[in-house]
Amino acid sequence: MAQVITITTVVVVAAMATLTSSLNVKLSGINYNPRKGADWEPLKLKCKSASEVATDMKILATVTSNIRLYSMVDCNQMELVVPAAKAAGLTVWAGIWVDKNAATYAAERDAFAALIKKGVIDATVIGLHVGSEAIYRKEVTADEAIKNFKEVKALVTAAGLKFPVTIADIGDVYVANPQLFAAVDIVSANAFPFWEAKPIEGCIEYFYSRMEPLIKLATDNGKKIMIGETGWATQGKADGASVASPENAVVRNPSILELVVPYSWWYLRDDFSLVPIDCWAMTVHSHGCLYCVYVY
């Protein structure tokens, strides 16, 4: 599981409130992780307490109606977050973390099955992704990802649950592996013009052009699309990345909001806590979340 750095919830929500109020929209969801420390720290320093999570949920409910998680196991986040989200009137899009270690997926899958039996997976949970960019990271193949997906989908079906299940990955991975379209209930794809060193001018048009092959294949397979992650960093530098600045973020992210709001099958998210510092050793990731609008 990636280590994470959390940015103060109040600061992020204030920033997003300014952005959304200027466009007269409310984000339909925000990526969330109850992590607040590194892997090696004691539990009370690594993970937020139930009261801290409850406070976060109340704050997040002012700008969104749904949150998205990435794991069943890390910080015991489903049992920690789902009750707090429910109390705050939020719904949850759940996640199963997948990496190169088969034991990681097995533990996540088994935890999901146990949570079903305990009644934690209830009407509050509106969807589930099995893996997040694991194919892109070359930690599993597309066929392995589909195998994992089918195992989890079988658990969902056997329990009589009706929410959609998907595999979250970048758009190019879906296009290169068309068998993914047939497998999933809904396509969950990520796209970042920022990481392709594109100028801020024309980035929205470029974003859409990059999505066109994905949209065609999804349409051919009768599947809707959720654009899982996209955004523009406010600070920092990285090889092969675009220019990060508050000005560029303000230009780009309201534009993406305006682009996607008319499409009912696109959902808006903002990720303020998931900073994969063990995947990229670069400063831009610690500043890319304040105005990173995620659409899925």
- 218 part of a folded domain: yes
If you average pLDDT over every residue of the chain, what do you get? Answer: 75
pLDDT at residue 146, as a whole number: 99
Cα–Cα distance for residue pair 106/102, rounded to 1 Å: 6
Reported as a pLDDT band with limits 50, 70 and 90, residue 259 is very low
> Is residue 262 predicted with pLDDT exceeding 50?
no
pLDDT at residue 45, as a whole number: 87
State the helix-helix crossing angle for 50-60 and 77-87, rounded to 10 degrees: 50
- 1 part of a folded domain: no
Cα–Cα distance for residue pair 29/294, rounded to 1 Å: 9
pLDDT at residue 195, as a whole number: 57
pLDDT at residue 237, as a whole number: 55
- Domain with residue 273: its CATH number is 3.20.20.80
pLDDT digits over 213-247, tens only?
888 999 999 998 887 766 555 555 555 555 555 55
Domain that holds residue 138: 9-295
- 200 part of a folded domain: yes
How many structural domains is the chain composed of? 1
Cα–Cα distance for residue pair 231/215, rounded to 1 Å: 19
pLDDT digits over 68-88, tens only?
899 999 999 999 999 999 999
- 260 part of a folded domain: yes
- 111 part of a folded domain: yes
- 220 part of a folded domain: yes
**Taking the mean position of all CA atoms in its chain, how far away is CA 21?**
22
pLDDT at residue 287, as a whole number: 35
- 3 part of a folded domain: no
Work out whether strand 187-190 and strand 225-227 pair parallel, antiparallel, or are unpaired. parallel
Predicted TM-score of the model (pTM): 0.78
- 167 part of a folded domain: yes
> What's the whole-number mean pLDDT along residues 151-179?
96
pLDDT at residue 294, as a whole number: 31
> Is residue 54 predicted with pLDDT exceeding 70?
yes
